[in-house]
Amino acid sequence: MLMLGPQERRRIWEQVFASVEGYVSGVDGLPVAPELDPIGLRALLEPFDFEQPLAPLEAIDFAARGLTRYQVHAPHPRYFGLFNPAPSTMGIAADTLVAAFNPQLAAWSHSPFAAEIEAHLVRAFGARFGYDPGAVDGTFTGGGAEANHTALLTALIGRFPEIDEAGLRAVAGQPVFYTSSESHHSLVKASRACGLGTAALHEVACDNRFRLDPSALSAALVRDRQAGLHPFMVVATAGTTAAGIVDPLREIGDVAAAEGLWYHVDAAWGGAAALVPELRPLLDGIERADSITFDAHKFLSVPMGASLYLTRHRDILGRTFRIETGYMPRDAAALEVVDPYVHSMQWSRRFIGLKVFLTLAVAGWEGYAATIRRQTAMGDRLRARLRESGWDVVNDTPLPVVCFQDLRTPRGRTHEFVGQIARRVVSSGQAWISPAQVGPMPVLRACVTNFRTGPEHVDALVQALDEARSGLAASTPGQEG
Ligand SMILES: *Cc1c(COP(=O)(O)O)cnc(C)c1O
């Protein structure tokens, strides 16, 4: 039942790849965003009681149509969204191979080829961030949230070895860690999941460019130590999610070193700057981080989910995740290799690294640099076009995420205004952007997440924004919700 016959399989693969090719080559012609219709969707699924078997080709057609009709098309060149990329061709091919071969990334001896490809990539990306390739270690994770969670766990074990056995109660006071108010909220979840509680995460004030202020961090450390708390970690962000801001990595590293804190840099999106020589100075000081989060499924444009946790401490993942069982293969020690499952949060795990490996092998570092450079240039064009049209860009970053308001009217800087503009643009089907907040400011946020976004798409976005603004001005205030 589960394995279909050779002729049927051939027809299925053909139809799957026809759907893939139809989507990849035709996505530009689709509205960027669907109508949101939960009732209609549930009605569509209602007939599936799984009593009557469905013909395979019909089932695939149902899935492809549903995906075409009911999703925000992140692969669309006018999707100016939330770091969700168009997937690379080699990435799609890689994930297909991985699904079929289904390598198991728990024990090294089950999937030596896969395990060594991932280890090779850990060294290669570690070196890009300035780590000593001989000392770097790391693991692929499902996403940046898991990488940040891993960072928090390794920081805890690194700073409070006693909690390995005895738990957090072994620490004489409350452990606390620091990040800026602009950082990613996966840290809040991680704090909760580690049993620290959300109050253990202390937000440090930002300077007037929305960067974590190192002197505010130092002041908080003094205050909190006097209050009997146990600071153990600081998280800097290299490319904030709302505004692409890079914290002063070197200065924060200085504070971390002087104060004995684990230093984590969340470079989920902005870490891509490490691949472009003229952007690399943005990340100056990242090599001093104890650990780094870097998402391949954002700026590296591989299918979800693919992220890296990297560290310059070769023993810390093993100290955090080691385990002994009678049922897992035990040949790793004799082979002098590391089993992935004693090195990561996940146990059975898919081969995440292949989509990165094949994309990088075919594009090369140069290909990636050219792609990121082009997206950055599209970000510059967007900033220029917006200013020409009377919008005010409020974030200061060379990375291609642009936050803006309309400062000509008091209304142009309200949550209501940015929400209505975003809604009008999205419902026009012309482009996808979102309202966001930078510091206290409501903004519109547009990110060039797609390597296929060109000048014509940027110009179309600005036109859609201008039309939304005129439409809104013509409507009676208070009419729209
Ligand atoms: C996206 C993002 C994350 C979370 O990553 P996921 O891959 O969505 O789990 C963490 N930190 C930053 C700065 C991000 O932009």
Q: Is the pLDDT of residue 1 over 60?
A: yes
C-beta of 83 in contact with ligand 1 (< 6 A) = yes
389 neighbors 466 (Cβ within 8 angstroms): yes
Closest ligand 1 atom to 144 CA: 5
Q: Residue 389: what pLDDT?
A: 96
Sign of CA dihedral 418, 424, 426, 427: positive
Return the residue matching tokens 């790391």.
Answer: 138
pLDDT in tens, 231-244: 999 999 999 999 99
285 neighbors 236 (Cβ within 8 angstroms): no
C-beta of 184 in contact with ligand 1 (< 6 A) = yes
Choosing from 82, 140, 191, 266 the residue with most ligand 1 atoms within 8 A of its CB, the one to mutate for a pocket test is 266
Tokens of 177: 């860690």
- Provide, rounded to the nearest whole percent, the portion of the chain with pLDDT above 70: 99
Burial of 416 (0-12, 13-18, 19+ CB in 10 A): middle
Closest ligand 1 atom to 238 CA: 13
- Provide, rounded to the nearest whole percent, the portion of the chain with pLDDT above 90: 91
250 neighbors 284 (Cβ within 8 angstroms): yes
Q: Residue 272: what pLDDT?
A: 98
Distance of CA 359 to the CA centre of its chain: 17
**CA dist., res. 377 & res. 371, Å (int):** 10
Q: Residue 133: what pLDDT?
A: 86
- Distance (angstroms) between ligand 1 centre and the Cα of 186 equals 7
**CA dist., res. 7 & res. 35, Å (int):** 38
What's the chain's average pLDDT?
95
- Distance (angstroms) between ligand 1 centre and the Cα of 146 equals 9
- Distance (angstroms) between ligand 1 centre and the Cα of 268 equals 5
Residues with Cβ within 8 Å of residue 45, at least 6 apart in sequence: none
Q: Residue 397: what pLDDT?
A: 96
Q: Is the pLDDT of residue 119 over 60?
A: yes
Residue 401 confidence class, pLDDT cut points 50, 70, 90 = very high
pLDDT in tens, 243-258: 999 999 999 999 999 9
- Distance (angstroms) between ligand 1 centre and the Cα of 136 equals 22
Q: Residue 479: what pLDDT?
A: 52
Residue type at position 433: I
C-beta of 458 in contact with ligand 1 (< 6 A) = no
- Closest protein CA for atom 4 of ligand 1: 144
What is the DSSP code string of 163-214? HHHH-GGGSSS-EEEEEETTS-THHHHHHHHTTS-GGGEEEEPB-TTS-B-H
Neighbours of 31 (CB within 10 A): 17
Q: Is the pLDDT of residue 408 over 60?
A: yes
- Distance (angstroms) between ligand 1 centre and the Cα of 143 equals 7
- Closest protein CA for atom 3 of ligand 1: 144
Residue 481 confidence class, pLDDT cut points 50, 70, 90 = very low
Q: Is the pLDDT of residue 366 over 60?
A: yes
**CA dist., res. 35 & res. 275, Å (int):** 37
Distance of CA 135 to the CA centre of its chain: 25
What's the mean pLDDT in 463-481?
Answer: 80
Closest ligand 1 atom to 269 CA: 15
Closest ligand 1 atom to 297 CA: 7
Q: Is the pLDDT of residue 180 over 70?
A: yes
Q: Is the pLDDT of residue 318 over 60?
A: yes
**CA dist., res. 218 & res. 252, Å (int):** 9
19 neighbors 64 (Cβ within 8 angstroms): yes
Closest ligand 1 atom to 241 CA: 15
Longest CA pairwise span in the chain (Å): 75
What's the mean pLDDT in 79-105?
Answer: 97
Q: Residue 355: what pLDDT?
A: 98
Query: Whose CA is closest to 27, among 94, 72, 90, 84?
Result: 72
- The H or E element that residue 257 is part of is helix 249-259
What's the mean pLDDT in 449-466?
Answer: 97
Tokens of 345: 């949060």
Choosing from 184, 187, 264, 298 the residue with most ligand 1 atoms within 8 A of its CB, the one to mutate for a pocket test is 184
pLDDT in tens, 66-91: 999 999 999 999 999 999 999 999 99
- Is 307 in a helix, a strand, or coil? strand
Using CA atoms, how far residue 160 sits from 65, 168, 231, 236, 343, in Å, is 52, 9, 11, 21, 19
pLDDT in tens, 322-339: 988 888 887 888 888 889
Q: What is the set of domains in the chain, with CATH numbers?
A: 19-34+71-87+363-481 (3.90.1150.170), 104-350 (3.40.640.10)
C-beta of 357 in contact with ligand 1 (< 6 A) = no
C-beta of 145 in contact with ligand 1 (< 6 A) = yes
**Is beta strand 137-141 parallel, antiparallel or unpaired with respect to 175-180?**
unpaired
- Distance (angstroms) between ligand 1 centre and the Cα of 293 equals 9
Q: Is the pLDDT of residue 477 over 70?
A: no
Q: Residue 56: what pLDDT?
A: 96
C-beta of 241 in contact with ligand 1 (< 6 A) = yes
